[in-house]
Amino acid sequence: MPHLRLRKFNTRNVWKGQDISNDLSMVVRAGNLVFVRGQTAMDLTGKIHGINDPGAQTENAMRCLKQLLEEAGSCLDDICKIVIYVTDRAHREAVYRVVGKWLKGVHPVSTGIIVQGLARPELLMEIDVFAVVPEAALAAPARRAKATVEKTASTPRKRPAARKTDAARSVARRRGTR
């Protein structure tokens, strides 16, 4: 089965003014493994959110992360490893507070790294995740969908509904969910 590569793009369209041309994807699903491109203050349309506000940047990153995982047939509960990059030790508290709110009860392994800078100077943080869709979830998608709805309903903040791509709808059809 080929890998599912969603939201393909070329870096020349993202990093204007730089001589970079790499073909990439925002998320790749390989069997039950899900790899998501590092998420930052940049939303899925390329707009930057939360200039000089690491908490607001993290909210945006988590919102995008949730949507990308769902498009790949996964969810926040499937996250096994998270790597958080911050450009200043002082940003850790704001960033980790937001991540903790979104991943309450998930218990992934986590690595935090303080870096000198990210791809753009206005980016204060980046979140990189690796998720694994459990075998039981692949076999029983209806039960998984119910658990995801219950978790979303119990979160303190209303989140926008994810927009399914054609590829995500195809995954949902194969799994018996819509």
Q: What are phi and psi of 111, to 5 degrees?
A: -125, 135
| CATH classification of the domain holding 157 | 3.30.1330.40
- The whole-model pTM stands at 0.74
Per-residue pLDDT of 51-66, as tens digits, reads 999 999 999 999 999 9
Smallest CA-to-CA distance from 80 within 27, 35, 28 is with 35
Q: For residues 79 and 96, give the distance between their C-alpha atoms in angstroms, rounded to a whole number.
A: 16
DSSP per-residue codes, 3-49: -EEEEEEEGGGTSTTS----EEEEEEEETTEEEEEEE-SB-TTS-B-
User: Is pLDDT above 50 for 81?
Assistant: yes
pLDDT band at 102 (very low <50, low <70, confident <90, very high): very high
Which residues 6+ apart lie within 8 Å of 125 measured at CB?
A: 40, 41, 54, 57, 58, 61, 84, 85, 86, 87, 91, 95, 118
Q: Which domain holds residue 148?
A: 4-175
Helices 54-71 and 166-175, packing angle to 10 deg: 50
Residue 1 has pLDDT above 70, yes or no: no
pLDDT of residue 165: 53
| Total domain count, the chain | 1
Question: What's the mean pLDDT in 132-143?
Answer: 68
User: What is the dihedral sign for C-alpha 68, 106, 136, 142?
Assistant: negative
